[in-house]
Structure 1
C-alpha cells in the first residue's frame, strides 16, 4: 500500500517531532560533562537534579495522552516542540545548578506529551499505519544519534551556552512548520475497530482498566520495562562522563588541530548508531523468538557487559570501543521484545493505556537510576556503579523468566 498525501504529511510531521524529542534527550548527557566542571558540584547532587528533569518525561505520558484526546494531537505536538526549545534557551541562560534543574524540568514536562500524542496521531490519521510507525521509529533513532554528535562537535568550537541555543533552533523551526502543516488527524478514524473506539475517556474508566491491567500478566511486563529503564537511563546518562575519565582515553592524542575533540563523546555516539542496528535486528527477531525468551537472553547479555565494562576498559582503547558497540547493540535490541510483550499480554481495548504505562515505567521510574548512579559514582569505585546496573539487568532477566514460566501461552483476553 502506497502512502496517501495525508499519510505523508502526518509521517513528516511526526518523524520530525520524534527525532527532535530524542535529539534533545540524548544531548543532555553531553552537557552533563560540561556542567559538572562548570558548576563544581558533587556528582550525587547533580544526579538528583538531572533525575528530576528526566522524570517528567515518563511521568507525563499518561496525562499527555488525556490532553491529546481533549485538545488535539497536532496542537499538543506543536506545544511540545516549542516547549522543549524554550527549555534549552533557558538552559543557555542558566548560571547555577538550580537554574539547570529548572530548565531540565521544563524540558521533561514538554517532552512527555510527545509519545502519546504522536502515536495517537498516527493511529487515527494514517491509513498505512505499519509503514509510518516504522518510519517514525527510524526517525527517533536518527535523533538519538544526531543529538549527542552535534552537541559534542559544536562544544569543540563554542561555549556550552551558545551550543544549547543552537540546539533549540531546529525545534523552533519544527514548531513553526507544525503550525502550517496541513493534514487530517482523524482521516483513518472510520477504519478503527469497535474496540479502539471504546478507548476509556473518563477517570473512572481509566482507573477500572488500570486495575484490570495490573491484575494480569501486564504487571510483570511493567516491572520488566521499569528495570530496563533503570539500566538504560543510568547507562546512557553517565557514560559520556565515565568515558572521559578512563585511562584509555585520558592520554589519547587526536592529532594536530584536533586538540578539542573528546573521543569519549564520539564513542558514545557510535554506541547509539550501532543501537539503531540492534533495534532493527531485535524487531525482526520478534517474529521468530518469543518476547519472554528474548527478554531473558538480552538482559543476561546486558548484565554480563556491565560487569565486564571496567576490566575491559583497562585493556585499552580497541577493546573498549568493541565493548561499547556490543553494549549499544543489545541496549536497543531489547526494546522491540518488551514492546511485543505489551501487545501479547494486554487486551486490545487496553492497548493505549498499557503503552502509556510502558513509557511511565521506561522513562519515569527508570530515571531513578540517575539519582542512584550519581550517588554511587560520587561515593564508590566505578565498578560499584556497573555492578548496580548489572543487578538491574539480572532482576529484569528474572522477571522475564517468571513471565515465561507462569504466563507463556496465556495472554490476557
Structure 2
C-alpha cells in the first residue's frame, strides 16, 4: 500500500520522480517512482550510514552487479542503480500487489501450488546467476496480478551486514537458516530453508518455529523440530527436506521445482533455462488444476545435440583453415612470389580479423540472434575461404584471410552462445569437453589434412575442406538450431564494446609483431592497448554509475577467461617449440614432426574427456589445478632436451602435457559459460574467444620470437642456439603454469 511522502523524503532520485512510500525498514526506505516514460518503478534508498562506509559500498556494488544478472523468471529484476552518489539507490521493477505477509493465510491449494512453483522458480533463477538471496521471507514475496514475484534478491547480503540482529523484528530471524544464525558459511541451501519456512506460513498462516522473542525463535530454528501440521501431502515432504538442519541434505531449488512440476524422483534436471520457463508458465496459469504432472524428462530446446554438432563442425572448419594455411606458407611463397613479410600477413590477417570482431560478435549475437550470427558468420567464412583457392596474388589472399577472420569472429561466440542456451550443468560440461577436444587437436588435424594435398596437388586445395565443413556447419545449425537472443545491453554498452574490441585488435597486432620486431612500435602498440582497456573501463563505469560490467563483477568468470588464455598459450607454445625442435634438431619432416607429437594430441583428447566426465561431480578446481601442474611438469621435463636428439627423452613428457592441457582448456570453457547467465551467453563467449585468441597469439608469436635467434639466415644450423632459447621458454611456460595453479581457486562451481 502506498503512503504519502514525508517532508524529509526526496521528490526525485536521478532520472526518477518519487511519488510515494512503499515501505521502510532497518535497511532503507522503498519508494514508488516513475521514469521519464511514466513507467512505475520501486526505488530503494539506502540508509545514510551505508553511503559513508567505503567497505560497505564496495560490497554493495559487487552484490548489485551480481543481482543484475538474474533473469526475470518470477522475480522483480533490478532495472537501474546509482552507487556513485551521496544517496545510493536501487531501482527495480514495480510489482503491484500486497506482500505475502499481508495476505490472509492459509492460501487455497491451487494458489498455494502456484506460489510454491513461482518462488522455487525465482530462487532457481537467482542461484543460476551465481548469487544467494539471503533474505527470502513473506515480506519479499509480492502477490502480483500475474503471480507471485520475489523481490530484494542479491542485495540483502550487503545491507544486512550493517544492521545488528537485535535491531531487527522477529520476522527476519524467523526465516533464517541455522547456518545463517550461527554465522556459518551461507550458500543456496539457506534460501531453501527460508523457502520451506515461507511455505509453512503460506499453507497454515503460522510460523514453523514458534517463539515469543528473537532468542526463542533462534533457539527453535537451531535445535527444535518444525511444526509441519496442516501442510498438504504434496508439499509436506518437500518442506521437511528443506528444513533439514544440515544444508547438505536439503534439495536444490531446481530439484524442488522439478518435484512441484510433478517430475518423478531422480529425474535429471535437463536444461535449466527450459525448466525455468516451465515454472514461470505454471506459476501464472490461472485456474490450472493443482496437481499437474510434468513429463518425466524436461524437454530440450530445439534439437540441441544436432545443433551442437553443427557448432563443433564450425569450430573445426575455422581451426583447420588456420593450421592448414600455416603449413602451406612455403609453397605459397614459391607460387605467388611473395616476400617473407607478405607471408607473415597471410597468417596474421586471419588473427587480426578475428580480434577485430570476436567481442562484437558475441554482443551482436545476444542482440540480433545467436543462430543468425552463427549461420551468417560461418557461411561468410566458408565463402571467403573457398575464394582463396582462386587468389591471383598475395594481396588478394591476405584480404580474403582477413575477411574470413572477421566472419569467424562473428560465428564462434554465437556458436558457444547457442551451446550455453541449450545446455546447463553436467550437459554443458560434456559439450565443452567435446569442444575442447576439437579446438585443441585441430593443429595436428590440419597437418594431416593438408599435407597430402600439398604433396600431391597444390596449396590452393588446402582451403577446400574447411570451406566444405563450414557450409555443412551452417546448414546443420540453420536446420536444427533454435533462435535465441540475450540482453546485449546488460553485458556491455555499445561504446564499451567498441573500445574493448579495439583494445583486443591492437594487443593482438602488438603480439603478432613480436615475432618479427620487438622495437619501439610494438611498445607503443602495447601502451595503446592498455590505454584502450582503461578507456573501456571508465566508459563502462560512467554508463553504469560506478559499477563494473556485469560479466566481470564475479571473479570466477574473468579468472576462467584468464585460464583459457594461459591454457592456449601453453598449448600453442608447446606445439610450436616441439615442432621446431623436432625438425631442426631431430631432422624430421613437417609430417614426421606431427606424427611425433601424436601422443600429446591423443592425451589431450583423453584429458578433455576426463574433464567432461568428472567436472560435474568435483567442480572446476581439481581439473584445473591438476591439469596446470601436469603441464608444468611436462614443460620442465621437455626443457631437458639437448642438442643430441633422442625421441626417447622427449616422448615421456608428451602425454603429461596433453593430458594437463586437456583438463584445463575445456574446464575453463565450461566455467566461463556456466557462470554467464543464459541471457549474456553470447557476450561471455566473445570474451572467452578473445582470451583464447590472445593466448594462442602469445604461444605462437612471443614464445617463437624469444626462443629463436634473431638472425635466421643459417636457420638449419642453429641447433645449439635454438635449444638454449627453447630451454628458457619451456621453463617460463612451466613457471607460468605453476603460478596460475594458485589462481585456479578463484574459479568456483557454477550454481546451475
The alignment's TM-score, normalised by the length of structure 2, stands at 0.44
Equivalent of residue 172 in structure 1, options 458, 464, 471: 471
1:217 maps onto 2:555 in alignment: yes
SS, match of residue 168 in structure 1: helix
Q: Do 2:313 and 2:470's aligned partners in 1 also have CA atoms closer than 8 Å?
A: no
Deviations 1:7-54 (A, max 9, x none): 354234334323323333443443356557776866x98667634532
1:332 maps onto 2:662 in alignment: yes
Equivalent of residue 732 in structure 2, options 376, 391, 397: 391
**2:314 matched residue in structure 1:** 17
Structure-2 change in CA distance of 1:113 and 1:307 (3 Å): same
**1:230 matched residue in structure 2:** 569
Question: RMSD across aligned C-alpha pairs, in angstroms?
Answer: 4.3
CA distance in structure 2 between the aligned counterparts of 1:101 and 1:242, rounded to whole angstroms: 29
**1:150 matched residue in structure 2:** 449
Q: Which has the higher contact order (CA 8 A, sep 6+)?
A: 1
Structure-2 change in CA distance of 1:331 and 1:403 (3 Å): closer
**1:159 matched residue in structure 2:** 458
User: What is the CA distance between 1:384 and its match in structure 2?
Assistant: 1.8
User: What is the CA distance between 1:389 and its match in structure 2?
Assistant: 4.8
**2:437 matched residue in structure 1:** 141
Q: How many residues align?
A: 389
Q: What runs of 5+ residues in structure 2 fail to find an aligned partner?
A: 1-296, 498-539, 711-720
SS, match of residue 313 in structure 2: helix
1:104 maps onto 2:401 in alignment: yes
1:185 maps onto 2:524 in alignment: no
User: What is the CA distance between 1:165 and its match in structure 2?
Assistant: 3.3
The alignment's TM-score, normalised by the length of structure 1, stands at 0.74
User: What is the CA distance between 1:225 and its match in structure 2?
Assistant: 3.2
User: What is the CA distance between 1:279 and its match in structure 2?
Assistant: 0.9
Deviations 1:146-189 (A, max 9, x none): 4332122333322212233344233234445555x255334xx9
User: What is the CA distance between 1:106 and its match in structure 2?
Assistant: 2.6
Deviations 1:294-334 (A, max 9, x none): 43443333234234336447452344344334322222221
**2:183 matched residue in structure 1:** none
Structure-2 change in CA distance of 1:232 and 1:96 (3 Å): farther
CA distance in structure 2 between the aligned counterparts of 1:352 and 1:162, rounded to whole angstroms: 33
Structure-2 change in CA distance of 1:339 and 1:173 (3 Å): closer
Structure-2 change in CA distance of 1:172 and 1:382 (3 Å): farther
Deviations 1:344-394 (A, max 9, x none): 877888676444323211223541343323423252524424533542442
Report which stretch shifted further, 293-302 or 325-334: 293-302
Instruction: Please give the residue correspondences for 1:202-281 in structure 2 after superposition, counting only pairs within 5 Å.
Output: 203=493, 207=540, 208=544, 210-211=548-549, 213-214=551-552, 216-218=554-556, 219-236=558-575, 239-247=578-586, 249=588, 262-268=591-597, 271-281=600-610
Q: Do 2:381 and 2:470's aligned partners in 1 also have CA atoms closer than 8 Å?
A: yes
Equivalent of residue 302 in structure 1, options 631, 637, 641: 631
CA distance in structure 2 between the aligned counterparts of 1:311 and 1:34, rounded to whole angstroms: 34
CA distance in structure 2 between the aligned counterparts of 1:66 and 1:225, rounded to whole angstroms: 19
Deviations 1:104-162 (A, max 9, x none): 333322222233211322444x4788547735753663572643321223333222122
Report which stretch shifted further, 282-291 or 100-109: 282-291
User: What is the CA distance between 1:68 and its match in structure 2?
Assistant: 1.4
Q: Do 2:603 and 2:655's aligned partners in 1 also have CA atoms closer than 8 Å?
A: yes
**1:30 matched residue in structure 2:** 327
CA distance in structure 2 between the aligned counterparts of 1:6 and 1:357, rounded to whole angstroms: 26
Q: Do 1:33 and 1:241's aligned partners in 2 also have CA atoms closer than 8 Å?
A: no
CA distance in structure 1 between the aligned counterparts of 2:674 and 2:482, rounded to whole angstroms: 31
Higher Cα Rg, which structure = 2
CA distance in structure 2 between the aligned counterparts of 1:411 and 1:127, rounded to whole angstroms: 13
The structure where helix makes up a greater share of residues is: 1
CA distance in structure 2 between the aligned counterparts of 1:175 and 1:200, rounded to whole angstroms: 28
User: What is the CA distance between 1:64 and its match in structure 2?
Assistant: 0.9
